Amino acid sequence: MLETNTPSPVAAQSYPFEFRGNGKEYFKIWIVNVGLTILTLGIYSAWAKVRTRRYFYNHMFVNGQSFDYHADPIKILKGRIMLFLIGLSVALVNLSPIFLIIPVLFFLAGPYLIVRGAIFNFTNTSFRGVRFGFQRAYQESYITWLKAIAVTIFTLGIGALTSQFYWRKFIFDHMALGKARFKLGGTGFEFWAYMMKVFFLYGLGFLAIYLGVTFGLFFSGLISKEDAGLVPFLLVAMIYVFYGFLFVVYQVRTAHFYSKHTSGDGGLGFQTRLTLWDSFLMYAEQLFLLIITLGFAWPWVTVAIAKYKAEHTDAMATPEFFNSLEQAQLESVSAFGEEVASFWDFDIGF
Amino acid sequence: MRINGLLFDGQNSRARPAALYRLGEQVILEYDGQSRTFERKDVNVLSRLGSAPRAIEFPGMMRFESSSHDEIDQVFGGLSSFIHKLENNTQLVVISVVTFVAFCVASYLWIIPATSRFVVHKIPQSYIDKIAQKMEGEWGLGESVTLAAENQDKLETITSRLTHSFPGQQVRIRPVEMDGMANAFALPDGSMMVTQPLLELLSTDQALAVMMHEMGHVTYRHGLQAMAGQMIISVLLFFTVGGGDFTAIGQNLVGLSYSRRHEREADLFAAKHLKEIGLKPSLLADGLKRIEKSVSRRREGAGGLPTFMSSHPLTEERAKYLKELD
């Protein structure tokens, strides 16, 4: 006899992200931020940071509701001042080598600060009135740190890319939305192989194109010996384009790998529809805009990129997911870790 | 006036239809068939931001969201949206734009150069020596090379004439090997490097002119200025646009522009001091041309880069202004 009384799981549906900001609106916010930051000699930058984040979070929608950011600018200002003072104190090293202890301690505190930064960032982010969160996973942070260093050293740098995965996994595995947990599957090696495969192929392709173009120009007589000076220029120009191309490859491939391997409570998952060529054209267009406006298109560019990424990403979840998130206990930490992390360009976020 | 919106009770993510209104210093919130009263001071009305729905926060992490911006402003007064008013005041936005452009131009023309000039003279010598040692290591400069007798003579003549031109300044020139290329450069600590092919290629006067140019870099501490400048730009970018992938390109281009400016400064410095000892500034141009020719023969030409992407002004341009100073 067949048993059919196991509850059939409700299928997860896809909910597209949608960014409803626009360039003109953000431009006004950005320029007032910059103006006030200059006029207050940098002090307003803490408020500017919160306002910018809030703008992007508030306009990022999924299933009809948007995100919010709640950080206290005063805390961010304190974090910035502390970071600034530590930066200045590095100059003390000239007085006596004893002060070398400051940068060394700072370096050793890295994984601790990353956890503090993550707690600050996540607990100050909310969706539908429920805060994100991050565990006090100090030990795991140091383990991740050691793994990231080890994989770089023992492979003589070839495996360095793997450390990106370790950190991303560390963040995903310890973050939460209310009580809902997330998980990043896959292994460091899978990630590495997935990325290196295309880097290697495109690298070969680039070499072939470069050699083809230069030899082609020589043999076709388009470039004479006297004009040989153009060849290095051509190489530099092609390297720039190729570098940009690899940047896009990195963005698109990581998005695919991470969305494929991310899961969470309530059937949560992600799906990306980013494609390489289309993304490359989008970035090229935005870069062009930045160049011809001498950087003044910055707000439009940032908005366009956020819009593009949102349009090509779906959250996968059961319909109940959105109504069943439960608030968890909140932690309160200083913003110092977050400031350090953002100065290091360490990306704590989604 | 009633404001309609959604309420999240802070316990879970369920959205409930809700409404609120104000009675003097009290705010009344209605949801799920109940009505709760709060003191105005316990209610946090977030400032308006673009077109996003706006949140009103109640104790216990309760959150009321509504897109009725004008009604919220009317009920709670305009104070909460002071910044939003700035953002929608065309005059202020224009003033901000002008401030920002002026700031960018001023940073580029004065703030960054002046700050880096100021900073480099405050850096203790011991620290500069450390940087120079590190650079020597990174560039693999290694030990001094033994020069052929006639090149050794040239170098000694140059050193003594430089010492004569710059009394009180220690002139340190070290012969090094760099892929067999004709080259000379200055390190941040004030020591200068020259390669054997350069001494071979140039006449004593031409080589002296080139070393005068390097003396210019040393006197103005250009190497350190460039490092300080890059740091200042990083900090400025961090505060204005928060860094990012695109800004590195701009930062490089600005750095290159300062580098070209430094080269010009060093050229003019050399020209001035050459004239003082009765030599023509165009000697430097002749020397530079020869070096460029020999380097481009070996590398099939490095002169192909457009000006905005190269660290030095075009040699023809340098030759032109040096000739004019003769």
Q: What would the pLDDT profile of A22-40 be if each residue is shown by its tens digit?
A: 999 999 888 888 888 888 8
Chain B residue whose CA is closest to A93: B127
Q: Are strands B192-195 and B173-176 parallel, antiparallel or unpaired?
A: parallel
Comparing B325 with B279, which gets the higher pLDDT? Answer: B279
Within 1-30 of B, beta carbons closer than 8 Å to A belong to: 8-15
What token pair was written down for B25? 């210093």
pLDDT by residue (tens digit) across A238-277? 888 888 888 899 999 999 999 999 998 888 899 999 999 9
CA distance B156 to chain A (A): 35
Among B44, B62, B96, pick the best mutation site for testing chain A contact (most A Cβ within 10 A).
Answer: B96
- A21/B50 touch (CB, cutoff 8 Å), yes or no: yes
Residue pair B199/B287 in contact (Cβ under 8 Å)? The answer is no
> Contact at 8 Å (CB) between A324 and B12?
yes
Domain ranges of chain B: 3-87, 106-325
Is B92's Cβ below 8 Å from some Cβ in A? yes
User: How sure is the predictor about A1, in pLDDT bands with cuts at 50, 70 and 90?
Assistant: very low
Residue range B3-87, CATH number: 2.30.29.30
B146 touching A (Cβ < 8 Å): no
DSSP assignment of A24-51? HHHHHHHHHHHHHHHHTTTTTHHHHHHH
Contact between A34 and B95 using a beta-carbon 8 Å cutoff: no
What residues in A contact B83, CB-CB < 8 Å?
Answer: 32, 51
Q: pLDDT band at residue A125, thresholds of 50, 70 and 90?
A: very high
Q: Which residues make Cβ contacts (< 8 Å) with residue A33, sequence separation at least 6? A: A44, A45, A47, A48, A51, A52
Kindly report the nearest CA distance between residue A327 and chain B, in angstroms.
5
Give the pLDDT band of residue A61 (cuts 50, 70, 90): very high
Q: How far is B235 from chain A (nearest CA, A)?
A: 9
Smallest CA–CA distance from B53 into chain A, residue: A58
> Do the beta carbons of residue A166 and residue A189 sit within 8 Å?
no
- Mean pLDDT, residues B56-69: 90
Residue A4 has pLDDT above 50, yes or no: no
**Per-position DSSP letters for B67-124, written without gaps between them:** --HHHHHHHH-GGGGHHHHHHT-HHHHHHHHHHHHHHHHHIIIIIHHHHHHHHHTTS-
Chain A CB contacts of B15 under 8 Å are: 65, 128, 323
The minimal CB distance from B302 to the residues A36, A232, A247 is found for: A232
| One-character DSSP codes across B186-222 | E-TTS-EEEEHHHHHHS-HHHHHHHHHHHHHHHHHTH
pLDDT the model gives residue A343: 66
Q: CB of B245 within 8 A of CB of B192?
A: no
Residue (of B267, B277, B254, B169) closest to B217 by Cα position? B267
Residue A304, pLDDT above cutoff 90 = yes
- Nearest Cα of chain B lies from the Cα of A4 at a distance, in angstroms, of 32
Asked if pLDDT for residue B11 goes beyond 50, the answer is: yes
Averaged pLDDT for residues B101-107: 85
CB contact under 8 A, A58 and B50: yes
Q: What is the CA radius of gyration of chain A?
A: 24
pLDDT for A170:
94
Q: What is the pLDDT of residue B301?
A: 41
Are residues A233 and B51, on separate chains, in Cβ contact within 8 Å? no
- The 10s digit of each residue's pLDDT in A67-96 is 999 999 999 999 988 888 887 777 676 667
ipTM of the complex in this document: 0.79
CA distance B222 to B261: 10
The residue that leads in pLDDT, B249 or B205, is B205
